[in-house]
Amino acid sequence: MCFFFLQLSDIFVSFDETPQGAASLAQVHKAVLHDGRTVAVKVQHPKVQRQSSQDIVVMEVLVRAVHWLFPDFAFMWLLEEAKKNMPLELDFLNEGRNAEKVAAMLAHHRFLKVPQIHWDLSTKRILTMEFTEGGQVNDLDYMKKNGIDVNEISQNLGQMYSEMIFVQGFVHCDPHPGNVLVRKCPRSNRSQIILLDHGLYQVLDPSFRVDYSRLWLCLIRGDMPGVERFSRRLGAGDLFPLFACVLTARSWTSVNAGISCVPVTDTEDVEIRTNAALYLPQISDLLNRIPRQMLLLLKTNDLLRGIETTLKTRAASSSFIHMSICCIRAVASTTDTTKEECEGLRSLRVKGERLGL
């Protein structure tokens, strides 16, 4: 639709000029169409296209300067990811297509709500969608006030992301609390997760996805030969112990025991933060080694862990069962599935049924 010669009143009965939310790339306004429907209008900031190109140039100069001054720190991966992802995030039609794809892909999850796109009112720099309200997923007071079960939300969020990552290979990579809302559905009164901001997705290669799934199965049960094998296959090399700790945000002791067998403690969290500072050069080296599609997964994992920490549901047994089932589903889709993996899937299904999953 061409907006150049239209007034706001030609499209909307009302348009709230005070944004509902604002970020570095765009801001979102609430509006009402002439047919009475309430919509959210995401408007890209006027100069962001040009400014983003300049930012990339500045970033490249800084990255190269840092590497020249400190050879142990190589951040070319950061530059490469910015160059690849920035144009995609600035194309709101791409965001709309991602939203529709993930909504169709996860339509069997009745707890998930993805706002519908109004294509006739959208362009590369304007995205108009169904207006949905809810509280942020880290707002415990909102959930308590509205009778929303924290454990149910955490379990559903983990189930949804396990399927995206391990089964579908199409992953929403920006699940910070502002993009994950919760509410009671007005029609069914069931708890819902509203997933917003679909500009940043990672598509996983099938071979990568299967190796990643096998690695997580090994991490969950403490299969150390398997952890080394699949970490190496994913590019970590001799840094596979560090890779396992970065991926899980768990200590090497917990990784050896099997992360599903050892609860997360405050002491372990302090150890992880301390070691992260000590091993910065090795972490930099690791991030340059691993496949680029792994980088956004690490970011996504970290954001999801932050939500679980707030909800006090981190390392819950149900989340490991959901994850394991999705991992084995991924592995079972290949021709080289082992007998042990098939038996593991049957065992996990029995455990899931016992827990009502």
For 122-177, the pLDDT digits (tens) are: 999 999 999 999 999 999 999 999 999 999 999 999 999 999 999 999 999 999 99
Separation CA 30–CA 164 (nearest Å): 30
Residue 42 near residue 129, CB atoms below 8 Å: yes
Separation CA 228–CA 234 (nearest Å): 10
Residue 331 near residue 217, CB atoms below 8 Å: yes
Q: Taking residues 228-248, what's their average pLDDT?
A: 96
Domain ranges for the chain = 47-88, 134-356
Q: Taking residues 255-275, what's their average pLDDT?
A: 90
For 299-320, the pLDDT digits (tens) are: 999 999 999 999 988 867 677 8
Residue whose C-alpha is closest to residue 233's, from 260, 212, 254: 212
Paired tokens of 249? 């945000």
Lowest mean pLDDT among 78-92, 210-224, 328-342: 328-342
Predicted pLDDT at 24: 75
Separation CA 44–CA 124 (nearest Å): 9
Paired tokens of 106? 């996860």
Please identify which of the residues 174, 211, 266, 336 carries the catalytic annotation. Answer: 174
Residue 92 near residue 127, CB atoms below 8 Å: yes
Predicted pLDDT at 60: 73
For 210, other C-beta atoms within 10 Å of its C-beta total: 23
Does pLDDT of 4 surpass 60?
no
- Per the annotation, the verdict on 174 as an active-site residue is yes
Let me know how many helices (H) and strands (E) the chain has, helices first.
15, 11
Average confidence score pLDDT of the chain: 88
Count CA within 13 A, CB hemisphere, residue 25.
21
Paired tokens of 89? 């995030």
Highest mean pLDDT among 40-49, 185-194, 203-212, 329-338 belongs to 203-212
Helices (H), 44-134: 48-69, 76-89, 92-105
